[in-house]
Structures are given as structure tokens and as C-alpha cells.
Amino acid sequence: MLHDRGAVETIRTTPRIGESSVWRRLRLPNRYAHWGMIFVAPALIFFITFRVIPLCSAAWVSLHDWNLIAPMKWVGAANYVRAAQDRDFLIALGRSFLYAGVVVSGTVVFGLLAAVLLDQRLRFTAFFRAVYFSPALMSWVVISIVWLVMYAPTIGPFANLAALLSLPYTPPLTSGIAALPAIMIMGIWQALGFYMVVFLAGLQAIPVHLYEAASIDGAGAIRSFWTITLPLLRPVTLFAVVNATIEALQVFVQVYIMTNGGPAESTVVVVFFIYRLGFYLREMGYAAALGITLLVVVLVITLVDLWLMRTEQHY
């Protein structure tokens, strides 16, 4: 009996197959498990309160007709059917896609270019990194007001430069053709610094010996960039594209402050369209349905990006 009891204790204390000694040292007794829940609880409560509950509420409201005053009236999927047939909503969604495509492309390309340039061992690189990153620290309200002044017809620097060169100047925010591109330029300028830092982190994580081996084989800087840098930056590029796409499709503050959807509805993007529909026209049920539709669209685009840019190469 004593022999059997000793065998049982030996089996209990013997590590399982594949269990490393490091894991055995890190494994905590069950009496400490509640501390993990205590530390996670604030973030979990915040997520449930400000993410899950509002999302469920919006989904419920989207199935009703509600003007914020009268009681809600059940309409089922009628709001979603209306969304599929709403020409104004589809135009606003297409305009958001255009904005996101230009801003994401410009942000990723110029952010990577700036990161490559500032990754060199040159003087004042730290200063220029701080300068490029500083717009990412500002709120969209401040940035929108600053660029609103810059585009101004009389006191703006662009107007003064045009006057200095004796050139005609038309404020871009008053033009139905130039208003949205003007906001795109501002969006690229604001996001450039953040993604430059992201790409810098990716560049500095690439082993130096890969470039040394490529140099020995006769590869130049351009060849090394295409065969080493870009493939190894694929996970970083994936994060940049997905994150920038989600942010670009939610553009609202810039439009609200700088153009209020004008001129001639040329800058009405999808989030501004939803905001105006819900809080100006008080069609809250339909606005909630459009918000859920936008959520699904963003989710589908994110999944497509993850599938197209899935990492297959390992070095």
C-alpha cells in the first residue's frame, strides 16, 4: 500500500510530456488566480459598459422606428432594406471608401518612406522623428481648426504664398472638387508620424546580418529593400493598413468642423451622414441601422485585409 501511494505521488509530481521547466516555474497556485481577474476587471468593465452594451442597444434600436420622442415602433429589418436602396447613403459610403483608399495608401507609403529615411545613422534624426510624430499627439479638433486657418482665403499661408507669386487662389474648402482632397491631405499629414514610428519599430527589429549577407552576395540598397525589408515588414504593414482603414472609414470631426458636409454635399462621408440623419432629422432607428451596416462593412474589409496580407514567410 505504501509503495502504491508513493507511485501515485510520483505520477502527480512528474511533469507532463512537453511541459517545460520554465512553464513549471511560472505556473501559479490556484489561490493566486483571482488576482488576474481583479487586474483585468477595470478594462473588462469599461469594454462591456462602453462597447458591448452600446452595440447591443444600437442593434436593438435599428429594428425600430424611433424619433427620440415618441415610443419606439417595431419595424424589423425594414431599416436595413431601406439602407440597401438609399442612394444618398451609398454615395456617402462610396465617398468614405475613396477617402480611406487615398489616406491609407498615402499614410502607409509616406510613413514607410519617412521611417526608412529616419532609420539612417544621421545627425538630427531624433529631432525630425519628434517633429513628424507631433501631429499624432494633437486632437482632431485642434488640427481641423489649424488647417481651416491655413486654407483661409485671406490670412492663410497658402493664400499669402499665392499672392506672393501673383497666382490666383481659390480656397479648396469652398470648391466641390477640391474640398475632399484638401481633407485627405490633412488626414495623411496627421497620421504620418504615428505610422512612421510603427514602421521604425519594424525596421529596427530586422536582423542586421540579413543585410550583411545580401551585401556580400552583391545586392544593393534597392534590392535589399524589396527582398528583405518589405517581406519582413509584412506584419507591421498589415497592422498599419488595418488600423488606418478603420480610422479612415470613421472620419467625422474634420468634416464637421471644416465643411459641415459642404460645399454642395461634396464632403458628406458615411459617419457624418449617419450623424445628421440621427440628430438632425431624428431618424434614430434608421441611423442605428446604418451604423450597424458600417460596422459589418469595416469587419468585412478587415477580414479581407487579414486574408490578403497573411504572413507566409519566415526568416
pLDDT at 314: 46
Q: What distances in angstroms separate CA 122 from CA 115, 239, 306, one per listed residue? A: 13, 28, 35
Q: How confident is the model at residue 311 (pLDDT cuts 50, 70, 90)?
A: low
Say whether pLDDT at 225 is over 60.
yes
Q: Return d(Cα 58, Cα 293) in angstroms, integer.
A: 11
Q: Is 259 helix (H, G, I), strand (E, B) or coil?
A: coil
Query: Is the pLDDT reported for residue 6 higher than 90?
Result: no
In which band, very low, low, confident or very high, does the pLDDT at 8 lie, cut at 50, 70 and 90? very low
Alpha helices in the chain (DSSP H): 2-13, 21-26, 33-47, 53-61, 78-85, 87-118, 125-133, 140-150, 157-164, 179-204, 208-216, 221-224, 230-232, 234-249, 253-258, 270-279, 284-308
Span 276-294, pLDDT tens digits: 999 999 999 999 999 999 9
Q: Which residue's C-alpha cell is 473588462?
A: 44
**pLDDT class of 56 with cuts at 50, 70, 90:** very high
* Topology annotation, domain 81-308: MetI-like fold (1.10.3720)
pLDDT digits (tens, 9 = 90+) for 167-217: 888 899 999 999 999 999 999 999 999 999 999 999 988 888 888 888 888
pLDDT digits (tens, 9 = 90+) for 78-120: 999 999 999 999 999 999 999 999 999 999 999 999 999 888 8
> What confidence score (pLDDT) does residue 28 get?
52
Of 144, 161, 143, 141, nearest to 153 (Cα)?
A: 161
The pTM of the full predicted model, rounded to 2 decimals, is: 0.84
CA atoms within 13 A on the CB side of 78: 9
